[in-house]
Every structure is written in C-alpha cells, then in structure tokens.
Amino acid sequence: MLGAVALSLALAAVLSYLVLELPRLRQTWRLWSHRSQLPPGPKTIKTGIRKPWLWFRELNQQYGDVVYLQMGPTPTIILGSAQAAWDLLEKRGAIYSSRPRFIMGGELLSNGMRGLMAPYSAFWRRWRKLLHSGFMQRQSEAYRPIQSLESKVLMHELLTDPARFRTHLARYAASVIVTVTYGRRVEDVDTDAVVRMNDEAMDRLTSVNIPGKYAVERYPALKYVPSIFAPWKAQVLEQRKKDIQMYTGLMDDVRKRLAAGKLPDCFAKHLLDEQHNLGMSDLEVAYTAGTPFGAGVETSAGSLASFLLACVKFGDSFIPKAQAELDRVVGPDRLPTFDDLPSLEYVRAVVSETLRWRPVAVLGGTPHATTADDVYKGMFIPKGSTVIAPLWSIHLNEADFPEPHEFRPERFIGERKYPGTLGHSAFGWGRRICPGMHLGSASVAINVARILWAFDVRPALDEKGNKIDVDIFAFSDGFNSSPLPFACSITPRSKRHASVVEREYRDANRELQQYTAATKLS
Ligand code: HEM
C-alpha cells in the first residue's frame, strides 16, 4: 500500500516536472540547433543591475548592432542602431510587434486589461485603435488649447517659485494628461486625488514587474496553482482588486459628470461614445482610460527636466541662438504660441536634441517580442524572442550622432541620413510606436519655446558665488529614466518678459475655470 502511494507521488512529481520544463526543453533544443546562426553576444549574463541600458550600450559597442542574450529561458535581442531597429521593428512590424509575457504584471495583476503589455492580438488592436483615434495628430491638435493654458500656468510657477521647478513640470504634465483624459485639471500635484490613485496603481505595477523576482515568470504553469497554496498569487490578486476599484471609480465619476452635463470633451467621453460600437466591457473602458497617465506623465515631465539640465550644462552654446530667433519671430510682447513653431527652426532643433540627448524611455519603451522565426543579415532571430531597442544605445551611437553626450541642436538643422522622418527615435517604431507622440512632443515643444523666450536658465550659484556644476549622467533607475534633482537658476530675461508671463497667466486662469470647477471628485 505504502509502496503504491510512494510510486504515485513519484509519478506525479515527474509529470509536474515535465509540464513545467517541457516548453523550456523544446525551446532549448531549437536554439541549440541554430546556435551557429544566432547573433553574437556575451557568454555570461549580468543580473540585478539597476541601469541595464548602460550594459546594453557596452554590448552594442563590443558585439555590434544586433546582440544575442540568453536571459533565462528567453532569447533576447538587443538592437543598438537606428537602422537595425527600423529594419526590424518598423519594416518587419508584422512579426516584431508582440510583447513578451508579463505573467505577474500583465496577466495576474491586470487580467490582460493593460494594452501596453498585451501581446499582438484582437484585444490589443481594439485598444490601440481607441488610443489612435483619441490621440492621432488631428485629435491631438484639439488638446493644444489645454496645453497652452497649462503651459502659461507653468511659466508663472517658474517665475514665482523657480526652486521647485521639478514639481511644476510634474504638475504641468499630470494636469494636461488628467484634463485630456478625465476633463478635470490638477492644481497641486502633491495632493490631487487622481494623481495619488494613479501613482499608487503604477507602484503596484512596478513592484511586480521585476525581472527574476517571481518563479512564475520562468515556469508559467505555476500561474494555475490555487491562491491558497501560493501567497504571492493571493497578494497580486488583492492588488488587482484595488486597481479595479480605482479605475472604475474614476469612470463612475466621469459618467456622473456626463449625466449632469458637466463633462468637457475628453478621452474618457470618447471611450464612452465608442464603448457599445466596439462591444467593450465597463472594465475594459476603465483600464483604457488609465493608459495615458501611466505612459504620458513622466515621459513629458522627464523630457522637460532633461532640457533644463542641458540649459545649465550647455546653455552658452545654444540659448543665445534660440533667443535671437524667438526675438525675431515672436518679439517681446507675447509668449510664443503653437502657430509660431513652424517658423522657429532652431527652437524645434532644440526640442529634437532634447528628446535625443537624454531619452526618457531609455530602453525604447516596453520590449517587443517576435511571433515568427526570422533571419536578419544572416543572423537567426527565433520566434518568441524578446527584442529590446534601448534608446541609450541608439541615440548615443557615434555613427549617427558624433560626440553623442554633447547637446547640439545643429544636428537637426539641414539634411542628415537617418531612418524615418523625425531624425531621432524617441517615440519608438512601427505598430507599437507611441500613440501619444503628438501630444507628448507638443508639450515639450511649447514649453521649451516659452522657457527660452521668458527666462535665462543658468547654473545656480553657491554661497560664495561660484557656479554649481551639474552631473549629466545622474539619472534615475527604472523603466523611465529622468534627471535626479539638480541645482538650476531660472530668472526672467527682463521686467518686460516677466510682466508678459504675469498677464498671460491671469488670462489663462480665467479660461481654465471650466476644468478647475470639476477638480473635486464628485
Ligand atoms: C515626450 C513624451 C513621450 C515619449 C518620449 C514617449 C515615448 C514612447 C516610446 C519610446 C514608446 C515605445 C514605442 C515602441 O514600443 O516602439 C511609447 C509607447 C507608448 N506611449 Fe509614449 N511617449 C511619450 C508620451 C506619451 C503620451 C503623452 C501618451 C498618452 C497618450 C503615451 C502613450 C503611450 C502608449 C500607450 C504606448 C504603448 C503603445 C503600445 O503598446 O502599442 N506616450 N512611448
């Protein structure tokens, strides 16, 4: 009797092992049989590093534009040039546009509702279509009045309280996104309820999206272990409840304001209009409305912080030229507007150089994944590979951008060979290209133009009157990387410039009333 039990247990153990290991063994066999064709790469893998993009750049410099890494069971490809990223992610987008599995973050925490982590599928296409219709070029232009008004508030904040410039940039970016999404603005980024709730949701997501932290990412079958035997699963499902409560709560508020006739045009309203046509559940709508916050706040604010850092370090070489252009095109009596931008060639070059020099989406956004085997320049790229195109490698590639750590807007003046139309890759590629690129780049452009028009941005001085130097490599860890706190002096160019900022702020405040009135959650 005991012998039979022992035998059954042993059989069960062998079977479980096979279920867990079989997909991995199959993959290992496939990789082994193509081993001579895989792209070059290192034998040993560094794990637990806080800024993997620094290591990826070293690998690209050592092994070339296409590097192979065996990250656990997953083949991983690191692309180190704009051309390689373009050839694969853009031109072969049909097979390079999926995502690796995010079992903890995408499947268990989000129940597949977060499109950003969704594989290339019918669900993703519907989600993407909504974001596209909500943020494509023409629709984004409808948001420009909000961006312009909030930017006038930002200029006033920089005028009256320059020391807290980083908080003001965060408020600007959050307010534009929350107004565009939910039709209500953010006046204080530290206390605003919507910002706090969204930040908490982002914290929940980042706390589980840590490579190597959970065995289930390596052994997907563990996903089906009942929660009662798996505390990590019980915990993540609890977190999911909090996300659902928050996202549906925000949409309930939107519905109430819509019913009361108090909802300005916004992305959430657009989602409600489309919901029935597209057969979407309330939950899907609620999660989709949460997308712009997760993807659009830190990217916009971080890019502007990098611009200020560049002003402090390299300002002497480009600020006078930009200000001369602004004085010529705009004059001294008003802030620049969106309509001025086509005539501000040098300022636009400053914007492009900002997005190139220190790309916030330093890893090129969320990794892509391949859905079929492929061969590129004789190298085998297996189906199911994770493909990372780190902008830290691509934007600092000397072949495209000589002396890449120098901030040089002139790179973007005149003709230059580079794939695509932007001259940089800050918004990614192909079918996964950033759907918020028009909104995001407009935020960076209008504020760069106005800061340069209104202020002198220089190194701060210490108590002895010496310039405080800044470290252009002191950036945060994490998925998005932006400058760590640094000292910076922001002063109005003249009394006349200051009074224009004051006047335009007063006018903007009046116009923003319609969004401010709805600031409290109903
Ligand atoms: C300066 C600001 C921004 C920068 C630099 C930026 C950059 C990027 C990059 C590099 C990607 C990855 C693209 C790829 O995988 O090939 C991305 C994806 C994405 N961005 Fe942005 N972004 C910005 C602003 C925004 C805004 C304002 C929104 C909000 C509407 C947004 C929404 C998204 C979404 C939803 C994705 C994922 C797309 C998908 O998975 O299909 N981004 N962004």
Domain ranges of the chain: 18-515
Residue nearest to atom 16 of ligand 1 (CA): 428
User: 3-state secondary structure string, 282-329?
Assistant: HHHHHHHHHHHHHHHHHHHHHHHHHHHHHHHHHHHHHHHHHHHHHHHH
| CB 360 near ligand 1, within 6 Å | yes
Q: Does residue 81 have its Cβ closer than 6 Å to ligand 1?
A: no
Distance of CA 457 to the CA centre of its chain: 26
Q: Which of 76, 35, 83 is nearest to 56 (CA)?
A: 76
CA 376 to chain CA centroid, nearest Å = 28
Distance CA 108, CA 240 (A): 8
Give every CB contact of residue 438 below 8 A, 6+ residues apart in sequence.
135, 136, 137, 140, 141
Classify residue 25 as exposed, middle or buried by CB count within 10 Å of its CB (0-12, 13-18, 19+).
Answer: exposed
**Residues in the chain, pLDDT under 70:** 1-2, 13-14, 16-20, 23, 517-522
Supply the pLDDT for residue 521. 56
Q: Is 440 in the pocket of ligand 1 (CB under 6 A)?
A: yes
Rounded to whole angstroms, the Cα distance separating 245 from 287 reads: 11
Scanning 112-191, the segments in alpha helix (DSSP H) are 122-135, 137-142, 144-160, 165-182
Q: Is 300 in the pocket of ligand 1 (CB under 6 A)?
A: yes
pTM of the model: 0.93
Q: List strands edge to edge, sheet with 386-388.
A: 66-71, 74-79, 386-388, 368-369
Distance 182 CA to ligand 1 centre (A): 19
Distance CA 64, CA 364 (A): 18
Q: Classify domain 18-515 by CATH architecture.
A: Orthogonal Bundle (1.10)
Phi, psi of 98 (to 5 degrees): -90, -175
Q: How far apart are CA 521 and CA 61, in angstroms?
A: 51
**Three-state SS at 368:** strand
| Protein residue with least CA distance to atom 21, ligand 1 | 434
> For residue 486, what are its two tokens?
């640094």
DSSP letter at 400 equals: T
Give the position, in ligand 1's atom list, of the atom nearest the Cα of 116.
40
Q: What is the pLDDT of residue 187?
A: 92
To test ligand 1's pocket by mutation, which of 89, 179, 351, 427 has the most ligand atoms within 8 angstroms of CB?
A: 427
- In this structure, what token pair is assigned to residue 90? 């853009």
Helix or strand run (H / E) with residue 388: strand 386-388
Task: Specify the pairing of strand 74-79 against strand 66-71.
Answer: antiparallel
Instruction: Using CA atoms of 322, 325, 330, 331 in order, give the dihedral in degrees to the nearest 10.
Output: 100
Ligand 1 atom closest to the CA of 368, numbered from 1: 15
Which residue's entry shows tokens 């780190």?
Answer: 390
Determine contact, residues 330/21, Cβ cutoff 8 Å. Answer: no
Residues 336 and 330: beta-carbon distance below 8 Å: yes
Instruction: Give the per-residue SS3 of 452-471.
Output: HHHEEEECCECCCCCECCCC
Is this prediction's ipTM beyond 0.90?
Answer: yes
Q: What angle do CA 292, 307, 154 make, to 5 degrees?
A: 65
Question: What is the CA(468)–ligand 1 centre distance, in A?
Answer: 34
- Known binding residues for heme are 434
CA distances to 63, 72, 368, 375 from 383, rounded to whole Å, are 22, 16, 12, 10
Helices (H), 34-78: 52-63
Structure tokens that stand for 108 in this block: 């268990």
| Token pair for 189 | 């980024």
Q: Is 342 exposed, middle or buried (0-12, 13-18, 19+ CB in 10 A)?
A: exposed
Which tokens go with 68?
A: 């192979």
Residue indicated by tokens 């994944």 = 369
Q: What single DSSP character describes residue 475?
A: B
What's the 295 CA to ligand 1 centre distance in angstroms? Answer: 6
What is the gyration radius of the CA atoms in the chain, in angstroms?
25
Distance in Å, CA 88 to ligand 1 centroid: 19
Q: Which residues lie below 8 Å from residue 24, measured CB to CB, with a gap of 6+?
A: 73
Residue 328's CB is within 10 A of a number of other CB atoms, namely: 10
Structure tokens at 135: 């943020």
**Which is nearest to 314 in space by CA: 455, 250, 409?**
409
Q: Is 346 within 8 Å of 340 (Cβ atoms)?
A: no
Q: Cα–Cα distance between 322 and 32 in angstroms, integer?
A: 56
pLDDT digits (tens, 9 = 90+) for 152-184: 999 999 999 999 999 999 999 999 999 999 999
Pairing verdict, β 379-381 and 74-79: unpaired
